[in-house]
């Protein structure tokens, strides 16, 4: 009897412009997820670490780490969007829209906003706008990503031909709604680990985050499963051994979370990611490599109508097996070979 | 001074027919256990993943994954039953009797229902019926397992000679009490990840679950400790290096949970294991191996008096380092050498 | 632009006698931390494992494992005290002062109570008394540790010259406040895993804890990050490969937690560590090694005004790759080369 129940994911020719996909599986986030995320990345931002600290400044409790929310929403999209992906090409227009708290349930849906077949006709690029919502429908996260997806059949007609226009930066006028108005008078900077506020950071300033962390196979697998991300390249060494890389590729988001946790040393009060302007996984990361990171302040912006927080536009660069004292990045158009991640985002920090 | 406080476990001659053993340690299950179990296995069944989803169909909240309950109850029995085991021979008559929720405490007790010395007189087979209960005494799980246990002294008299008659299948009339009556009208099949219901599955249908997952030492050790299972063969590489296998053996239940999580792809709505008819750990699993799985629908059964759910009798077969496109199982009486697990169970699925 | 935001930690000449340091980051402990700690160490003490068991004897719920509290408080001190440490030399006068429950937030502060430059002038020993408190200021833990710290500049003047007088034992009159008065009539010894009480242990008794557990890199990294301990030597293989040991050193507290979990077999009712008289990390522990442990009862003490619990003074010795049947410890002044940990503490046990 034939196997018809198993999903093998969508191929390029299966997508349609304007198509809306509701993703499985709804996921309730709990304090258990928070603890495991802490054990895997060791983030130390006080607002997410201490409910007493969060309440003192006006949150009802500690919000869930922004990237944990991102990874869980992202994970839901994998079975529908990127199971047959060749490469995850980029992110844009990522906005965090509301805080998420333990006990809340996340669901996700994506709209296909662009389709472009490659000249080889073997693959095409799929652009999706994904929205993560709470169980009551309130949006918590929105982002665009584009991904190169295999065709099932090279001879199949391209399902569309449209490349969406995407912003290179999220307008700072649009960010900030993801944080309640805060009582910064009650923000204990000693307890948070640094005295540095919005005004202390200068555009052009570069910060080496100093520490390095070596990734183990068990760690990235546990993290990626926690997000219910099913992309097999992260888990299946038997098949990977026969493939192009010979080993498991680590989920790109793992490098983002590692770099973000490292960035505490230098950005201790930049506790909330409000938006991601763009992100690129420059090179794959493998287990056994040690990740380092540094950041540059690309811009600063006040938030309209708010005196509690300001926004720093940061570029955080992560490397593998290369400390970042000298801020390795690009030579001309070419990335330093050690760079694995180039992430451009807005972080909020007390004024 | 002599060491008298340490338990070295029971040997074959220490058991008595009819003996009842209350096991240590009581264990409160929390959302922390649920998160870690998710990180270790990545299950995606919507009912267990989302409390909002579970509540919509009539649960008071997400029930704890059936296998997590099983492993925790099983773990308690190890110090008393199988610390001196040579082999875990089989399971039968395993019934899940009531859902378990976060915050509830589990305890376990076992009755010795069979004893059979082997002809070598060095070992014997112990049959126990184990019951897992909540703190108020309500049973949540019952199963029989039999295990070959060393004798302390080959010359000791056999403590009994009785092989119990065990069912090869749990009567479907007996299952279903472990699920409340559900409002399937509120079951969102898109969100659950599949449209396939009871009527869509055919007896004889075979489903390759496609994905593979490589097991790391840290993963199975963390899982097995989470269940407070103390069998040293899973944890002690120093001693294992000098033993028959040369390395740590992975707890057999780890393969069951991996296969169950993989089976989501093809059985997304078969969200609840109501009973295990029988199970066999055909070959040991070691770290570094990649587990694949496939299932066959062996039978179907309606549940008496219920129109919300039906039962699929499934055989899920797991392999190591061998994809399951061609459904590897047996040649005659002999298992395919890649098979590590042969599990026969009843899963409930919306009608 | 210069990097000025990153903390590189304090060097010996940065400390001052009497200096009080409030440490970042406040940390709310949850049932998620408890579950992960269970998965990492597999402790089985009934009071910490079952809220039903804990409530039956008079706790409002399961208290958090003492060592998890210790590690979290310790972790907070690392960025300020020991980021430039050469060696963690010892602990003394460690008292647990109050139980901690899930949902409570811990903060920590340290007072510098001693400073002694070494004759090389390249390093000095810093003595700190650290106090862990709940968010309302109530102390839960106090201990002294001393650590050899690098100087930034060998020519810098020593910041002080005082070696504090430290007790070699915590007076048993001072312990016990960390446990509420308990109803031992409701303590179920079968469920707890052993019938042995205070009166059953004899001074001089030695107990081999039998089991061994092999440590994986992922495990100690996850544990150490869970405590937000940032000491790079535990995480950065790239840098460690160029250093003295060639590999990551495991956080000393990991060995303490492993030994404590192993000690359940023989000390199942000694459920609460009330004080640590002293501790020494005799040799470093590396991933891949298997930890064994044994304990000796050094002394016993009643608790003033209490008939529910008594105190056992225990020395627990942990080894790497060496079973402890013959209680390996010292030959004259020299430790057995397999010994990694020598821990002297007071544990409370029902009378």
Q: How many helices (H) and strands (E) does chain A have?
A: 8, 13
* pLDDT tens digit sequence for A239-279: 999 988 999 999 999 999 999 999 999 999 999 999 999 99
Residues 56-85 of A with CB under 8 A from C: 62
Contacts of B105 in chain C (CB under 8 A): 50-53
B101 pLDDT exceeds 80? yes
The closest CB to that of C225, out of A42, A52, A194, belongs to: A42
The closest CB to that of C35, out of B1, B36, B239, belongs to: B36
> What's phi and psi for B188, nearest 5 deg?
-90, 100
Contacts of C105 in chain A (CB under 8 A): 50-53
Chain A residue with the nearest C-alpha to that of C237: A214
Q: What pTM did the predictor assign?
A: 0.97
* pLDDT tens digit sequence for A270-326: 999 999 999 999 999 999 999 999 999 999 999 989 999 999 999 999 999 999 999
Strand-pair partners of A318: A293, A341
Question: What mean pLDDT do residues A144-153 have?
Answer: 96
Q: Where are the beta strands (DSSP E) in A182-324?
A: 206-208, 213-214, 272-281, 290-302, 309-320
Closest to B234 measured CA to CA, from A282, B225, A101, A5: B225
Question: What mean pLDDT do residues C205-229 have?
Answer: 97
Q: Which chains reach chain C with 3 or more Cβ–Cβ distances below 8 angstroms?
A: A, B
Residues 82-101 of A with CB under 8 A from C: none
Task: Report the distance separating Cα C335 and Cα C319, nearest Å.
Answer: 11
Q: What is the DSSP letter of C81?
A: I
Task: Report the distance separating Cα A85 and Cα A11, nearest Å.
Answer: 8
Interchain contact, C26 vs A39, CB within 8 Å: no
The closest CB to that of B135, out of C45, C52, C62, belongs to: C52
The fraction of chain C above a pLDDT of 70, given in percent, is 99
Token pair, residue B83, equals 């610390």
Q: Is residue C1 very low, low, confident or very high in pLDDT (cuts 50, 70, 90)? A: very low
Whether B1 contacts chain C with CB within 8 A: yes
Interchain contact, B33 vs C35, CB within 8 Å: yes
Q: Is residue B2 very low, low, confident or very high in pLDDT (cuts 50, 70, 90)? A: very low
Per DSSP, the residues of C154-210 read TTSPPS--B-----SS--GGG--TTS----GGG--HHHHT----GGG--TT-EEE--
B3 pLDDT exceeds 70? no
Predicted local distance difference test score (pLDDT) of residue B7: 84
The fraction of chain C above a pLDDT of 90, given in percent, is 92
Closest to A75 measured CA to CA, from A100, A108, A101, A43: A108
Task: Report the distance separating Cα A191 and Cα A209, nearest Å.
Answer: 19
> What's phi and psi for B128, nearest 5 deg?
-125, 145
Interchain contact, A211 vs C230, CB within 8 Å: yes
Whether B221 contacts chain A with CB within 8 A: no
Whether B46 contacts chain A with CB within 8 A: yes
Contact (CB, 8 A) for B217 and C214: yes
C50 pLDDT exceeds 60? yes
Whether B242 contacts chain C with CB within 8 A: no
> What phi-psi label fits residue B249: left (phi over 0), alpha (psi between -120 and 50 degrees) or beta?
beta
Whether A296 contacts chain C with CB within 8 A: no
Q: State how far the alpha carbon of C264 is from the alpha carbons of A9, C192, C298, C329, in Å.
A: 48, 10, 17, 20
The closest CB to that of A40, out of C1, C225, C248, belongs to: C225
Token pair, residue B260, equals 């169950």
Interchain contact, A25 vs B193, CB within 8 Å: yes
Contacts of B248 in chain C (CB under 8 A): 214
Q: Which helix (H) or strand (E) holds A332?
A: none
Interchain contact, A46 vs C28, CB within 8 Å: no
Predicted local distance difference test score (pLDDT) of residue B76: 97
Chain C residue with the nearest C-alpha to that of A205: C1
Closest to A338 measured CA to CA, from A326, A329, A347: A329
Strand-pair partners of C312: C300, C347
Task: Report the distance separating Cα C328 and Cα B123, nearest Å.
Answer: 33
A66-81 helix and A31-41 helix, angle to the nearest 10 degrees: 100
A11 pLDDT exceeds 70? yes
* pLDDT tens digit sequence for B305-339: 999 999 999 999 999 999 999 999 999 999 999 99
Task: Report the distance separating Cα C318 and Cα C293, nearest Å.
Answer: 4
Contacts of B338 in chain A (CB under 8 A): none
Instruction: Give every CB contact of residue A48 below 8 A, 6+ residues apart in sequence.
Output: A34, A54, A62, A63, A64, A65, A271
Predicted local distance difference test score (pLDDT) of residue C204: 97
Q: State how far the alpha carbon of C292 is from the alpha carbons of B79, C286, C317, in Å.
A: 18, 14, 8
Q: Where are the beta strands (DSSP E) in B135-254?
A: 139-150, 206-208, 213-214
Whether C230 contacts chain A with CB within 8 A: yes
Predicted local distance difference test score (pLDDT) of residue C277: 98
Q: Is residue A4 very low, low, confident or very high in pLDDT (cuts 50, 70, 90)? A: confident
In Å, how far is C85's CA from the nearest CA of chain A? 15
| SS3 at position B259 | helix
Task: Report the distance separating Cα A221 and Cα A247, nearest Å.
Answer: 13
Task: Report the distance separating Cα C123 and Cα B124, nearest Å.
Answer: 63
B217-226 helix and C31-41 helix, angle to the nearest 10 degrees: 120
Task: Report the distance separating Cα B34 and Cα A69, nearest Å.
Answer: 17
Question: What mean pLDDT do residues A89-110 have?
Answer: 97
Chain B interface mutation, best of A1, A6, A239, highest count of B Cβ atoms under 10 Å:
A6
In Å, how far is B80's CA from the nearest CA of chain A? 30
Q: Which chains reach chain B with 3 or more Cβ–Cβ distances below 8 angstroms?
A: A, C
Interchain contact, A24 vs B191, CB within 8 Å: yes
Token pair, residue C165, equals 């007088």
B219 pLDDT exceeds 50? yes
Question: What mean pLDDT do residues A217-246 have?
Answer: 96
Q: Is residue A172 very low, low, confident or very high in pLDDT (cuts 50, 70, 90)? A: very high
Interchain contact, A226 vs B321, CB within 8 Å: no
Q: Which of A97-101, A116-120, B345-349, C176-180 has the lowest mean pLDDT?
A: C176-180
Question: What mean pLDDT do residues B35-48 have?
Answer: 98
Instruction: Count how many Cα atoms sit within 13 Å of the Cα of residue A59 in the half-sphere of its side chain.
Output: 23
Interchain contact, B105 vs C50, CB within 8 Å: yes
* pLDDT tens digit sequence for A88-97: 889 999 999 9
Residues 321-340 of B with CB under 8 A from A: 321, 323
Quick one: how far is CA B31 from the chain centroid? Answer: 20
| SS3 at position B255 | helix
Q: Is residue C7 very low, low, confident or very high in pLDDT (cuts 50, 70, 90)? A: confident
Mean confidence (pLDDT) of chain A: 96
ipTM strictly over 0.85?
yes
> What's phi and psi for B99, nearest 5 deg?
-70, 155
- How many other C-beta atoms lie within 10 A of the C-beta of residue C329? 16
C176 pLDDT exceeds 90? no
Instruction: Give every CB contact of residue A262 below 8 A, 6+ residues apart in sequence.
Output: A209, A210, A211, A212, A213, A291, A292, A293, A318
* pLDDT tens digit sequence for B115-151: 999 999 999 999 999 999 998 999 999 999 999 999 9
B195: burial class by Cβ within 10 Å (0-12, 13-18, 19+)? Answer: exposed
In Å, how far is A90's CA from the nearest CA of chain B? 25
Predicted local distance difference test score (pLDDT) of residue A2: 44
């Amino acid at each position: 009897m034939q196997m018809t129940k198993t999903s093998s994911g969508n191929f390029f020719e299966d997508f349609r412009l304007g198509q809306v996909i509701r993703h499985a599986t709804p996921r309730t986030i709990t304090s258990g997820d928070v603890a495991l995320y802490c054990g895997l990345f060791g983030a130390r931002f006080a607002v997410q670490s201490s409910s007493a600290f969060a309440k003192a400044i006006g949150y009802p409790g500690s919000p869930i780490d922004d990237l944990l929310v991102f990874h869980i929403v992202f994970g839901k999209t994998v079975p529908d969007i990127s199971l047959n992906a060749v490469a995850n090409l980029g992110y844009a227009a990522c906005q965090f829209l509301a805080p998420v708290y333990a006990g809340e349930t996340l669901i996700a849906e994506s709209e296909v906003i662009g389709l472009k077949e490659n000249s080889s006709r073997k693959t095409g690029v799929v652009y999706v706008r994904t929205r993560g919502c709470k169980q009551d429908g309130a949006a918590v996260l929105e982002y665009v990503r584009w991904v190169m997806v295999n065709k099932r059949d090279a001879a199949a007609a391209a399902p569309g031909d449209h490349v969406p226009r995407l912003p290179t930066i999220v307008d700072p006028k649009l960010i900030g709604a993801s944080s309640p108005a805060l009582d910064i008078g009650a923000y204990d900077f000693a307890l948070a680990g640094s005295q540095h506020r919005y005004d202390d950071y200068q555009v052009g300033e570069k910060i080496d985050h100093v520490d390095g962390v070596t990734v183990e196979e068990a760690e990235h697998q546990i993290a990626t499963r926690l997000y219910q991300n099913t992309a097999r390249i992260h888990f299946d060494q038997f098949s990977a051994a026969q493939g192009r890389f010979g080993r498991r590729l680590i989920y790109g988001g793992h490098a983002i979370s590692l770099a973000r946790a490292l960035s505490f040393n230098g950005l201790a009060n930049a506790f909330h990611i409000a938006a991601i302007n763009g992100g690129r996984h420059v090179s794959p990361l493998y287990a056994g490599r040690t990740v380092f990171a540094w950041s540059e302040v690309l811009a600063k912006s006040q938030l309209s109508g708010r005196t509690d927080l300001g926004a720093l536009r940061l570029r955080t660069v992560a490397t593998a097996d290369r400390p970042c004292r000298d801020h390795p990045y690009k030579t001309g158009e070419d990335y330093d070979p050690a760079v694995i991640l180039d992430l451009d985002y807005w972080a909020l920090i007390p004024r």
